[in-house]
Structure 1
Amino acid sequence: MTRLSGADAILQSVINNGVDTIFGLPGGQLDYFFDAMYHEKSRVNLIGTRHEQGAAYMAFGYARSTGKVGTYTVVPGPGVLNSTAALCSAYATDTPVLCITGQIPSRSIGKGYGELHELPDQLATLKSLTKYAERIEHPSQAPDVVNQAFKALTSGRPRPVSLEMPMDIMAMESDVTLQTAYENTPLAPDLDRIKAAAKILGRAKRPLIVVGGGAIHAAAEVQEIAEMLQAPVVSFRSGRGIVSDQHYLGQNYPAGHQLWADADVILGIGTRLQLQQQFWGTDDDLKIIRIDIDPVEIDRITVPEVGIVGDAKLSLQNLIPEVGRHNDKRESREEELNGLKHSMLQKIGKVQPQMSYLEVIRQELPEDGYFCDEITQVGFTSWYGFPVYEPRHLITCGYQGTLGYGYATALGVKVAHPDKAVISVTGDGGFLFTATELATAVQYGINLVTIIFNNNKFGNVQRQQKEWFGGRLITSDLHNPDFVKFAESFGAAAYRTNSPEGLRQFIRKGLAHNGPTIIEVEITEDMASPWEFILTPPVRGQK
């Protein structure tokens, strides 16, 4: 038993669970927690941000690119509310983000006195946005509650959690029994279901594998079973890189749309299969096998032929030898699938100028570098037009579509991987959501390369206004600063270009620079719509 303040008890407990980096913004209800971090500077890397949403997005990027828990701390009330868009993104992408927030004095909670930063029911609000939220009401409770939080973060379907502690409890000292870290035991699959799935897969003529974020930790097993079955592997966003785009079995999303039409068996691993089932279509000739850690997800849209609830890696380790007992002899599909890659590249090549810029970025970004998208025309195109070679190396916000998330998230990715190259792409509209985090990037020497594609508009919105509403434009044209001068005013390196080759030379300068770099790309013509290859029509009849 150790004598600790409430703030120290939380901090020691999260450190015991492997947290080594915290993003945050100080304030009254967190004074004791920040003082606790001051005394643990050798064990915790604290990155102070300029806005709460910046702190939360950085934690999101840290977690999204590592698979480890990303942690941030902000004051209660308006502070934690400012961070909720990042919590929504973490929930949508099954990303383990831990929010540590303060609270008003414990004696005032629920009284409506109007204390600084008071919300009517902060805990209820956070419970609606997270997998688990709890209040710690005494320092001695901290170790157990923190471990419960890490159980929620690391077991089952990972999603964000939130912990709060009143400011007076953070200051209170008490005897505290610290605990060892929570250790997750992977969920084992039902072996009868494994055997049933193996028989179907072994006899499949044209199997297709679809992977999502739930299969990231099982990349080796995914590739092994794919090669056994000669089954192409398709993903949309989170699963990109599980099988490298350099491998003939790794196919992009529009290629998956074509392959879906002729497939006889689908193996979905750690994926919602939402777009495929709702939009590509299903019929009686298509057998679907699902592996998912979340039992609710298995039959959310359709009932699969076989549903396996379990950890993806452990499930595949059991499935692979069973498939081997039933697998037909298979000829290599390398020539066929390389041909499909080539034909798809020709088709998506018309999405310009996005594809030309993405080609340059891919050539200049090292193979183990990280690419962070944004809700922008180049970002949308990257979902199928940017080759990805390793899991977690394409960072997106998933179905939440959180405009403005990209820049601060990419800073978190770079903090997590200081020795790897990281490139962020953003539009002029999205960048300004968290642009003041340039101050954070300069202060902490975060050498992120950010490319702003500036067309002085919300491009997607304006396209819809032209096509759907007869060209009645409203609030889609933007007035922007001079982005080069803006970045330089913070002390960042900044450049401007209007061509892919011009971008190439500035990417090289940015990657070699020891601080943040902003590259503005001037876009004077409308970009081609990327949606033809995302919003694809049905290729099978509905049941």
Structure 2
Amino acid sequence: MPLMSAGQAIVESLLAHGVDTVFGIPGAHTYDLFDALHAAGERIRFITVRHEQAAGYLAYGYAKSSGKTGVFSVVPGPGVLNAGAAMCTALGACTPMLCLTAEIPAPFIGRGRGILHELPDQLVTLRSINKWAGRIDHPTQASAVVAEAFASMRGGRPGPAAIETPWDVLGQRAEVAIEAPRAPAAPPPIDPDSIARAVEIVRAAKRPMITVGAGALHAGDEVLELARLLQAPVSAHRSGRGVVSEALPYGFSCGEAIGQWMNTDLVIGIGSRLELQHLRWKTMPPGLRLVRIDIDPTEMTRLPPAAGIVADAKAGTAAFLSALARAISPRASREEEFRAAKRKARAEFGQVQPQMAYVDVLREVLPPDGFLVEEISQVGFAARFGFPVYAPRSYVTCGYQETLGFGFNTALGVKAANPTRPVVSISGDGGFLFGIQELATAVHHAINVVACVFNNQSFGNVRRDQQTIYAGHVIGAELTNPDFVKLAESFGARAWRVENPGEFRTALEQALAADAPAVIEVRVERGSEASPWPFLHPSFS
């Protein structure tokens, strides 16, 4: 067995698991890990960022857009805490992402001696915001711990993992065997009785709706076949968008699906927590029944269905389809009905101005294989229902954490994973300034993302709520901003300033053609945006 340090064993184990990119920031505690990354040479790419939260979000974007595991490294203590938002996001959005960090020297752990970057119990902190977390106490354990982390991230409901290694252990040397990747835990066998119950419920349903989430990203063919068999619309809120292309009559954005909801008598949830119906729409149609397909058995107790199939979304939907095909007759086509309903909904979206005018330009200019990375903002909210999505993983979202500063940083990770495909991020002025320092990362590494910054000089949603709910008591919501064009140019990025959708179209076309890091500032009058909430939190009264 070769003699190597714990840092070298970690890097060799990453390579054994197919990792080709690591994001992060080196620091004293992790020098031995970074020396091992340097020794790996061209076998692994390292992308330096300018803030630990960005390291996590670049890894998240890399993973979310590619389906591979995103990896990042930060120092312990404050570095881990700075990256915590990204780990929370990956946990909520079911994304395999690995944090590699250090710890204070092993003899001091838990003793409260005030060692540099000490936390009272960092491992407990990591376990609270990751699916799995562990520690390497000796170089001989390194490969096994890495293998366990990867198997945990991939088994069952995907999620992030974290590994900490004490400062003094990272440089220790020993004879180390590099483990081959472990197979993730096998999905549970599909229960035929659950399938039979679900089939009987479907047979009685007249107007079913299918809802998909991140768990169904790999099950698009099966979901579409199910939709055609049942003549059912397929709705999605965020992560499931594009599982069924919204260019097809069956693919509905959340806003388009609103018109179908109160006549729905059955929801078939596939790989989804069903936030859309139970937290966003809330009002339940009379007599509604629920069938669920989900790999996480706890989902069946969190939101109990009439029939629950605990299975991988692709395999479970295929088994369900096979049984349904034998039990029901073909249903009359509703495709024209669906097309008309979607046209009607899109006409109604036109009320949400000026946001929808910009969203329409984004869809018209961004090529079909391009990525849109959203962030909570007035245009980001409108894109959630108004931007048609044609393929899974091409619309990258933060999930339910909704973190400001997510969009641009995540888009850099998306581009790192997909260097030949166009990537556009949308942010408000407030959110963009959470991560604007990563323009330096984009320029330094030639990560050619186009960042669209909608500058309404405010935290627009907060300001609207304070005006409408709190009698105009506006506090902390109106902002003074830098000159975004000059600031972007000072980093070495290309920049444009526009004031209407026509100018935006021209600038977006030029920015994509430039194939360089770019910022488009869109000036929007403060308070001028119509509320998007009727299409996100509709009232059915």
- Whether TM exceeds 0.5 here: the answer is yes
The answer on whether the counterparts of 2:259 and 2:341 sit within 8 Å (CA) in structure 1 is no
Matches for 1:19-418 after TM superposition, within 5 Å: 19-184=19-184, 185-278=186-279, 279-282=281-284, 285-301=287-303, 303-418=304-419
Matched with 1:475 is 476
Aligned partner of 1:88: which letter?
Answer: C
Look up the SS of the partner of 2:156 in the other structure. coil
Cα drift, residue 514 of structure 1: 3.2
Aligned partner of 2:172: which letter?
Answer: M
TM-score (norm 1): 0.97
Cα drift, residue 282 of structure 1: 3.7
Aligned partner of 1:101: which letter?
Answer: T
Equivalent pairs counted in the alignment come to 538
Q: Structure 2 CA distance, aligned partners of 1:15 and 1:210?
A: 37
**Cα gap change, 1:505/1:255 in structure 2, threshold over 3 Å: closer, same or farther?**
closer
The answer on whether the counterparts of 1:76 and 1:103 sit within 8 Å (CA) in structure 2 is yes
Q: Structure 2 CA distance, aligned partners of 1:508 and 1:376?
A: 22
Residue by residue, what CA displacement relative to the aligned partner does 1:16-60 show, whole Å, maximum 9, x if unpaired?
Answer: 112111101000011011110111121111100011111111011
Q: Structure 2 CA distance, aligned partners of 1:284 and 1:174?
A: 66
Whether 1:420 and 2:417 are equivalent positions in the alignment is no
**Cα gap change, 1:189/1:284 in structure 2, threshold over 3 Å: closer, same or farther?**
farther
Matches for 1:476-495 after TM superposition, within 5 Å: 476-495=477-496
**Cα gap change, 1:506/1:187 in structure 2, threshold over 3 Å: closer, same or farther?**
farther
Q: Structure 2 CA distance, aligned partners of 1:21 and 1:191?
A: 42
Q: Structure 2 CA distance, aligned partners of 1:199 and 1:325?
A: 12
Matched with 2:537 is 535
Look up the SS of the partner of 2:426 in the other structure. strand
RMSD of aligned alpha carbons: 1.3
The answer on whether the counterparts of 1:291 and 1:309 sit within 8 Å (CA) in structure 2 is yes
Residue by residue, what CA displacement relative to the aligned partner does 1:307-345 show, whole Å, maximum 9, x if unpaired?
Answer: 111100011121111110112231110110000001000
Q: Structure 2 CA distance, aligned partners of 1:96 and 1:337?
A: 35
Look up the SS of the partner of 1:332 in the other structure. coil
The answer on whether the counterparts of 2:236 and 2:276 sit within 8 Å (CA) in structure 1 is no
**Cα gap change, 1:263/1:283 in structure 2, threshold over 3 Å: closer, same or farther?**
closer
Cα drift, residue 284 of structure 1: 6.3
Look up the SS of the partner of 1:41 in the other structure. helix
The answer on whether the counterparts of 1:91 and 1:160 sit within 8 Å (CA) in structure 2 is yes
TM-score (norm 2): 0.97
Cα drift, residue 447 of structure 1: 0.6
Residue by residue, what CA displacement relative to the aligned partner does 1:218-265 show, whole Å, maximum 9, x if unpaired?
Answer: 011111111111111001111100110100011121232322211222
The answer on whether the counterparts of 1:375 and 1:403 sit within 8 Å (CA) in structure 2 is yes
Look up the SS of the partner of 1:47 in the other structure. strand
Q: Structure 1 CA distance, aligned partners of 2:353 and 2:540?
A: 25
Cα drift, residue 538 of structure 1: 4.9
**Cα gap change, 1:469/1:148 in structure 2, threshold over 3 Å: closer, same or farther?**
same
The answer on whether the counterparts of 2:210 and 2:234 sit within 8 Å (CA) in structure 1 is yes
Cα drift, residue 283 of structure 1: 6.2
Q: Structure 2 CA distance, aligned partners of 1:188 and 1:364?
A: 45
Residue by residue, what CA displacement relative to the aligned partner does 1:132-179 show, whole Å, maximum 9, x if unpaired?
Answer: 111110011111111111111101111111100012111001011111
Matches for 1:448-459 after TM superposition, within 5 Å: 448-459=449-460
Cα drift, residue 294 of structure 1: 0.9
Cα drift, residue 124 of structure 1: 0.9
Q: Structure 1 CA distance, aligned partners of 2:232 and 2:60?
A: 33
Cα drift, residue 509 of structure 1: 1.4
Q: Which moved more, 1:232-241 or 1:59-68?
A: 59-68
Q: Structure 2 CA distance, aligned partners of 1:326 and 1:306?
A: 16
Look up the SS of the partner of 1:42 in the other structure. helix
Cα drift, residue 199 of structure 1: 3.0
Q: Structure 2 CA distance, aligned partners of 1:202 and 1:397?
A: 36
Q: Structure 2 CA distance, aligned partners of 1:267 and 1:42?
A: 47
Aligned partner of 1:66: which letter?
Answer: S
Look up the SS of the partner of 1:68 in the other structure. coil
The answer on whether the counterparts of 2:216 and 2:240 sit within 8 Å (CA) in structure 1 is yes
**Cα gap change, 1:402/1:74 in structure 2, threshold over 3 Å: closer, same or farther?**
same
Cα drift, residue 67 of structure 1: 1.7
Q: Structure 1 CA distance, aligned partners of 2:254 and 2:196?
A: 29
Look up the SS of the partner of 1:472 in the other structure. coil
Q: Structure 2 CA distance, aligned partners of 1:110 and 1:424?
A: 42
Look up the SS of the partner of 2:521 in the other structure. strand
Residue by residue, what CA displacement relative to the aligned partner does 1:187-224 show, whole Å, maximum 9, x if unpaired?
Answer: 43212211221232244321110111111110111111
Cα drift, residue 2 of structure 1: 2.1
Residue by residue, what CA displacement relative to the aligned partner does 1:253-307 show, whole Å, maximum 9, x if unpaired?
Answer: 1232322211222111011113313543346622210011111112313x21101
**Cα gap change, 1:429/1:316 in structure 2, threshold over 3 Å: closer, same or farther?**
same
Matches for 1:502-521 after TM superposition, within 5 Å: 502-521=503-522
Structure 2 residue ranges without an equivalent (≥5): none
**Cα gap change, 1:60/1:193 in structure 2, threshold over 3 Å: closer, same or farther?**
same
Aligned partner of 1:138: which letter?
Answer: H
Structure 1 residue ranges without an equivalent (≥5): none
Aligned partner of 1:533: which letter?
Answer: F
Q: Structure 2 CA distance, aligned partners of 1:496 and 1:48?
A: 28
Q: Which moved more, 1:263-272 or 1:253-262?
A: 253-262
Cα drift, residue 431 of structure 1: 0.3
Aligned partner of 1:90: which letter?
Answer: A
Cα drift, residue 449 of structure 1: 0.5
The answer on whether the counterparts of 1:203 and 1:326 sit within 8 Å (CA) in structure 2 is no
Query: Percent identity over the alignment?
Result: 47
Cα drift, residue 519 of structure 1: 0.5
The answer on whether the counterparts of 1:280 and 1:538 sit within 8 Å (CA) in structure 2 is no
Cα drift, residue 109 of structure 1: 1.0
Look up the SS of the partner of 2:217 in the other structure. helix
Q: Structure 2 CA distance, aligned partners of 1:406 and 1:274?
A: 21
**Cα gap change, 1:286/1:328 in structure 2, threshold over 3 Å: closer, same or farther?**
farther
Aligned partner of 2:348: which letter?
Answer: K
